[in-house]
Chains A and B, each alone.
Chain A
């Protein structure tokens, strides 16, 4: 069986005064992500993602680093790759024309030769990690796309018709059982680490909006678990729709609004888009956050069927990381469609799950995600724009991949 795609997340402090230079370098690469202008900009630092064979997604973003100081910032690099970490770092090094122009801006980087040890020193492990298709590689997905395109192009030029595949294929329970089994171990471990109360409450909160699954409906019925009623029929949204985002807690990373039209933001522009959100965890609730993350991680790794996270079928990869010694929660997602439709789908499919994830962070509306306009503003205000976003098969939705798999 193919090894599932891995995720790498690196958070490295940027040397003082190196931020704007680094941002310039990253944006220039982001503008030329397919390497079309490579010849023209030979002297300019470049990452030839177009030559990569094992990277599904990659992004660079610059985050504030308030724990180090109000003027400090740090580089977030996060990628999804096939194969081993060593091979991934080798590939990354080989396609980067000037490693020093990017990584040299970070503290602790001593050169390309020491890149693996630098990465392992500042790599962060996800607390929860979801993969739409555990057995698909960049190679297998692009091969399926090519096959489909060939078939369609043949047909468009008078060849035989392409059979329409139904995209409703489900893995059988029998095949999923071996993957699901270790969930018992997960549960025991999580209860030991986070305490039964947090695991129970966090899980109940998620399950409250999952009555559509018979098993969870029974659980909700027995425990009288339900979506809490709204505290108010009014939205807690601010009155001034142009009000700047405000910091809601000490150390809250409110990013400045990205320059409009920044191509690297690439949001709502093509089939695939990206979201990076950093929120500040209320220290009193850190155990709850860890318990909820463990539950999501366990579900995503052991139970989630192909192409669907609790019914949400627009996510290619998503990961949550508890960073800064439990102070902040980082959410990174590669998804399909517009930002609005993505959040709407989350709210439709797993409304109280959003509360479970974020109501332990400062700034969540009193009615949580049920107050959707205020929740969207909460997310927007904590969203960090990427300076560089690469997607290997940017025009392919999760549903497209599922359809190709069924062919």
Chain B
């Protein structure tokens, strides 16, 4: 069912760059949340920034020479309340998926995502019910600090001159891609990314990530539309669907996508203290044991080397490897079934299904991750990649929280929030019975567990399973948003449309 038709040059010029690229060459990122207080001003602001929004054109096919990559990038996501704020009528909003209309902070979505307790939207810094509404998000990416600062200045000036589009107070966020590629716990992150068939000629069907193309099921994902009488210049492309023939609808979704934002704060000291306690309990009060335990939770060693290829010890030579399967490890002796990477990407073993169906179901639930770290690291992650010794044990076991927030700005792109992001979160990560387990949720991203049903990491071994003490909550959700990533055409349409 894989449709490998290449995206045309015209389409690439229309698709926002953040969909097709993680901007690995632009390590510095800033996130400006915007509240729109006046619909006319808001539209004017959208139309003014439309020309500076980075498309996928210069990304080419993924093998582009450095000079072909954008020297800096600007992308924009808009929430459902943002679309309402720029005056998009209800009849158009209702053609967006319900989960997008509801927004990530709604009760139903929180139930599905497990955002409760300290992760509940009521506690969020951005996007929750107790903060000013987040209507749009400007994502700025640069190769160095100076350029990023200059971009922030430019965009703040543009906002200031627009009047009715203002920066969300307290909503400014910084993100970065560290040299070590390590997230704050110290593990090399962002290795397994699905490739988009329309870009690389192989991989996951384009329609899993971009509206207007065939998806895993050979179908175009459902798309938001505008009625004919609203589709004035700059016009949206027509929707050719035979089920709505004769209505001359404008396709607002084509070449667009959906973006999930979650600010995930990580308790780095708590993570390693837990590993130290568990290592000691299991008779091995040493750093190697701690790193082994933590790696069993992740599914990769700190360098990024997958447990499937490096079962016994870290091997930085295998750091970027993503070419592995679980067929030889049905019982999780090498990579535990409950580990983070086996849940988020079950590959060929989605228990109890056969290989072909597992691969197929996995393909239908992939995410393009576009996250960045935030906050100063609590320790230098590169020490984890050296041979663990007594020194390292002392350092890790004695890590104390310094009160500084740190974690990742989790971003992911998908064509369906419900059947991709929410599905992975609910059916795989937060499922204590994933793959026949009993009481083990994702040790890294899990939501708070009720006290009477704690989660224990289960690590199968030849001589029986090792079960940890109840896992503390290492990650807390601090902010969130569901956003529409309009095509450049759709952005210009949204920026110019006059109310009927």
> Which residue numbers of A lie inside 8 Å of B, CB to CB?
148, 152, 155-156, 160-164, 166-168, 212, 230-237, 239-243, 260-261, 268, 271, 307-308, 311, 313, 336-338, 340-341, 344-345, 348-349, 370-373, 395, 397, 399-400, 402-403
A160 to chain B, nearest CB (A): 7
A60 to chain B, nearest CB (A): 24
A162 near B96 with CB under 8 A, answer no
Cα A337 to Cα B112 with chains together (Å): 12
B467 near A348 with CB under 8 A, answer no
Cα A62 to Cα B94 with chains together (Å): 30
Question: Which residues of chain B in 361-399 are interfacial with respect to chain A, using CB atoms and an 8 Å cutoff?
Answer: 361, 364
The 9 closest A-B CB pairs, nearest first, are A161-B464, A234-B241, A399-B436, A341-B427, A164-B460, A313-B352, A236-B243, A164-B465, A167-B436
- Binding site secondary structure of chain A: loop
Quick one: which of B94, B353, B469 contacts A242, CB cutoff 8 A?
B94
Cα A12 to Cα B26 with chains together (Å): 67
B464 near A234 with CB under 8 A, answer no
Which of B15-23, B217-225, B307-315 participates in binding chain A?
B217-225
A241 near B96 with CB under 8 A, answer yes
Residues of B within 8 A of A268 (CB): 111-112, 426
Chain B contributes a number of interface residues (CB within 8 A of A) equal to 59
B217 near A336 with CB under 8 A, answer no
Given contacts A232-B242, A234-B240, A370-B218, contact A344 B361 (CB under 8 A): yes
Question: Which residues of chain B in 447-461 are interfacial with respect to chain A, using CB atoms and an 8 Å cutoff?
Answer: 456, 460-461
A241 near B97 with CB under 8 A, answer yes
B252 to chain A, nearest CB (A): 11
Residues of B within 8 A of A373 (CB): 219, 222
B433 near A336 with CB under 8 A, answer yes
A219 to chain B, nearest CB (A): 19
> At the interface, yes or no: B423 with Cβ under 8 Å from chain A?
yes
What are 28 A-B pairs at a CB distance below 8 A? Answer: A148-B438, A155-B467, A156-B467, A162-B467, A230-B218, A233-B218, A233-B220, A234-B242, A235-B219, A239-B95, A239-B249, A240-B94, A243-B94, A268-B426, A336-B433, A337-B427, A338-B423, A338-B427, A340-B418, A340-B422, A341-B423, A345-B353, A348-B360, A370-B217, A372-B219, A395-B433, A397-B436, A399-B436
A344 near B364 with CB under 8 A, answer yes
> At the interface, yes or no: B327 with Cβ under 8 Å from chain A?
no
A311 near B357 with CB under 8 A, answer yes
Residues of B within 8 A of A239 (CB): 94-95, 225, 244, 249
A286 to chain B, nearest CB (A): 28
Quick one: which of B91, B353, B433 contacts A400, CB cutoff 8 A?
B433
B220 to chain A, nearest CB (A): 5
Counted as pairs of residues, one from A and one from B, with CB atoms less than 8 Å apart, the total is 143
Cα A240 to Cα B93 with chains together (Å): 9
Tell me the nearest residue of chain B to A365, going by C-beta.
B243
Cα A234 to Cα B461 with chains together (Å): 48
Which interface residue of B219, B220, B330 has the most chain A CB atoms within 10 A? B219
Cα A403 to Cα B323 with chains together (Å): 30
Cα A407 to Cα B384 with chains together (Å): 38
> At the interface, yes or no: B189 with Cβ under 8 Å from chain A?
no
Which interface residue of A164, A166, A395 has the most chain B CB atoms within 10 A? A164
Quick one: which of B101, B221, B433 contacts A397, CB cutoff 8 A?
B433
B335 to chain A, nearest CB (A): 14
A212 near B356 with CB under 8 A, answer yes
B438 near A166 with CB under 8 A, answer no
B419 near A152 with CB under 8 A, answer no
Tell me the nearest residue of chain B to A367, going by C-beta.
B219
> At the interface, yes or no: B351 with Cβ under 8 Å from chain A?
yes
Question: Which residues of chain B in 85-113 are interfacial with respect to chain A, using CB atoms and an 8 Å cutoff?
Answer: 91, 94-98, 101, 107-108, 111-112
Residues of A within 8 A of B464 (CB): 160-164
Cα A313 to Cα B361 with chains together (Å): 14
> At the interface, yes or no: B203 with Cβ under 8 Å from chain A?
no
Contact with A along B115-154 (1 / 0, CB 8 A): 0000000000000000000000000000000000000000
Residues of B within 8 A of A261 (CB): 107
Cα A163 to Cα B458 with chains together (Å): 12
Q: A239-B95, A268-B426, A373-B222 are in contact. List 7 more A-B contacts (CB 8 A).
A: A161-B463, A164-B464, A232-B243, A236-B243, A241-B98, A242-B94, A340-B419
A233 near B357 with CB under 8 A, answer no
B361 near A212 with CB under 8 A, answer no
Cα A235 to Cα B242 with chains together (Å): 9
A232 near B436 with CB under 8 A, answer no
A348 near B357 with CB under 8 A, answer yes
> At the interface, yes or no: B286 with Cβ under 8 Å from chain A?
no
Cα A373 to Cα B463 with chains together (Å): 46
Residues of A within 8 A of B219 (CB): 230, 233-235, 370-373
Residues of A within 8 A of B433 (CB): 271, 336, 395, 397, 399-400
B433 to chain A, nearest CB (A): 5
Question: Which residues of chain B in 47-104 are interfacial with respect to chain A, using CB atoms and an 8 Å cutoff?
Answer: 91, 94-98, 101
Tell me the nearest residue of chain B to A271, going by C-beta.
B433
Given contacts A167-B436, A168-B330, A371-B219, contact A349 B357 (CB under 8 A): yes
Contact with A along B401-431 (1 / 0, CB 8 A): 0000000000000000011001100110001
> At the interface, yes or no: B191 with Cβ under 8 Å from chain A?
no
A311 near B220 with CB under 8 A, answer no
Cα A163 to Cα B101 with chains together (Å): 47
Residues of A within 8 A of B208 (CB): none
Residues of B within 8 A of A400 (CB): 433, 436, 438
Tell me the nearest residue of chain A to B361, going by C-beta.
A348
A7 to chain B, nearest CB (A): 24
Tell me the nearest residue of chain B to A229, going by C-beta.
B218
Residues of A within 8 A of B222 (CB): 235, 237, 241, 373
Given contacts A233-B214, A341-B423, contact A166 B357 (CB under 8 A): no
B85 to chain A, nearest CB (A): 19
Cα A164 to Cα B242 with chains together (Å): 53
Cα A240 to Cα B244 with chains together (Å): 12
> At the interface, yes or no: B278 with Cβ under 8 Å from chain A?
no
B145 to chain A, nearest CB (A): 43
Given contacts A344-B364, A370-B217, contact A152 B438 (CB under 8 A): yes
